[in-house]
Amino acid sequence: MGARKLLILSVSAGAGHVRAAEALRTTAGALYPGVEAIHMDLMEWVPKIFRTFYAESFLYVVERQPELWGWLYGKTDRPKDGSKLEALRKGVERLNTTRFMKMLKDLDPDHVICTHFLPAQLLARKLAKGAFKLPVWVQVTDFDVHRLWVHQGLAGYFAASEEVAWRMADRGIARESVAVTGIPIMPAFSAPLDKAACARELGLDPSRPALLLMAGGAGVGAGVAGGGMDRTAARLLALGAGAAGAGDRGGFQILALAGRNEALLGDLQALAASHPGRLFPMGFTRTIERAMAAADIAITKPGGLSTSECLAMGLPMILVNPIPGQEERNADYLLENGAALKAYDAAGLLFRVRQLMSEPERLRALKERTLALGRPRAAADVLARVLGPAAAAGEARPAAARARA
């Protein structure tokens, strides 16, 4: 009787899948001392040419040709059964993941959770052939579900919302095997934080409103209507002091997160030098929850993970530049549920900011809706379904039961 082993599989095509996997691993470590939780990125176990094609080309298309990605998203959602293209895709994936499958056999986990559809696809095929017999669970990381996530024979699914669960059932997944948990985020997003203390820690004035301008981990996609984040920040700063309701102390402040984009960070720092006490640039941070706690409004792309974090923190959002496909669906969900506004261009963003700064009741209503939709315990709820109650986490499966054909 040894410690149970939980393998969490992600794919580094975008940051969200990896962040959800890390949230599950961290939460498992905190709640289940008798479980060894391991997070692996599938892209670390495939040939470089496949990794370049699969992960890096995804980021290139999303950033440079978002309309093409939207077309691909829709085209692959309802393909013709038995098409040659489908057969080719499956063959390429199978040939490039033999090393991964060997690693999986050697690791011999008790449970597998996939936060990306590719490992779920691979293991569903193995399960169908009887070549893999351990339970495989799937965490969908958007407020949407694409056909590539849906497979028969898996242990269960975790959905971001009731609608996603309903749509999974419509695609043939037994409703009782789908749990509506939300999207896993780090435990830090459920901890109480003092807004004023977080503001002072970041150099902000706690008495003035603060906007959080967020890029992704790579520092892309934060500008509006083709403009970079630095140009967006400059336009917001020009609005600042004149925004009704922003007070008479220089208007709102902007905390601009550039991620790992050093060039963008440099541009923001140069702009900040001309606006002392107004613009506060930051690079990549592992404590983004403190930045969210200090802010009154987040200006962000509608990624599944970033919006789930904002919901958990009760941080209203103005959504910009959704990627056609999954991010557009995320935006629709948030807008329909009253947790966000959307800006279609730079002028629209300025209008939305000015509007919320001058209408505190509207901002307060947005905050209440974000809190109502937030699921800060999503990771713990997922693990409770997979591993059982945390108090029983130390029990292990007998070695004989781990045998596979």
In this structure, what token pair is assigned to residue 249?
């102390």
Instruction: Write the DSSP symbol of residue 181.
Output: -
Residue range 39-57: average pLDDT? 81
Q: Report the distance separating Cα 318 and Cα 331, nearest Å.
A: 10
Q: Does residue 141 sit in the same domain as residue 230? A: no
Region 21-33: what's the mean pLDDT? 96
Same domain, 65 and 160: yes
Number of domains in the chain: 2
pLDDT digits (tens, 9 = 90+) for 346-398: 899 999 999 999 999 999 999 999 999 999 999 999 999 999 988 654 444 44
Q: What's the token pair of residue 341?
A: 């506004």
Query: For the residues of 207-245, what is the DSSP string, one character each?
Result: TS-EEEEE--TTS-S-SSTT--HHHHHHHHHHHHTTSTT
69-116 tens-digit pLDDT: 788 788 788 766 666 656 656 666 666 777 888 888 888 899 999 999
Nearest Cα to Cα of residue 40 among 26, 21, 63: 21
Percent of the chain with pLDDT over 90: 60
Q: What is the rounded (10 degree) CA torsion for 57, 63, 67, 73?
A: 50
The pLDDT assigned to 217 comes to 46
Q: Is the pLDDT of residue 340 over 70?
A: yes
Q: Between helices 229-240 and 346-358, what is the axis angle to 10°?
A: 40
pTM of the entire predicted model: 0.88
* Same domain flag for 206 and 167: no
Per the structure, the complete domain to which residue 268 belongs is given by 193-373
Same domain, 117 and 206: no
Q: Which two tokens stand for residue 160?
A: 């971001």
Do 65 and 163 have their domain in common?
yes
159 and 26 housed in the same domain: yes
Strands (E), 195-337: 210-214, 253-257, 279-282, 297-300, 317-319
My answer on whether 256 and 356 are in the same domain is yes
3-state secondary structure of 73: helix
| pLDDT tops 80 at residue 133 | yes
* Closest residue by Cα to residue 302 from 263, 343, 262, 264: 343
Angle at 129 between CA 124 and CA 132, to 5 degrees: 65
Residues 208 and 311 in one domain: yes
Q: What is the mean pLDDT of residues 30-57?
A: 85
402 pLDDT band (50/70/90 cuts)?
very low
Residues 214 and 169 in one domain: no
What is the pLDDT at residue 398? 41
Q: How many C-beta atoms lie closer than 10 Å to residue 244's C-beta?
A: 9
- Of residues 30, 20, 54, the one with CA closest to residue 138: 20
The predicted structure's pLDDT at residue 149 = 92
The CATH number of the domain where 258 resides is what? 3.40.50.2000
DSSP 311-327: HHHT--EEE--PPTTHH
Average pLDDT over residues 321-344: 94
Residues 133 and 278 in one domain: no
pLDDT in tens, 235-265: 999 886 554 444 434 589 999 999 888 999 9
- Per-residue pLDDT reduced to its tens digit, 188-229: 999 899 999 999 999 999 999 999 998 754 444 455 545 588
Q: Do residues 32 and 61 share a domain?
A: yes
pLDDT tens per residue across span 136-194: 999 999 999 999 899 989 999 999 999 999 999 999 999 999 999 999 999 999 989 99
288 lies in the same domain as 154: no
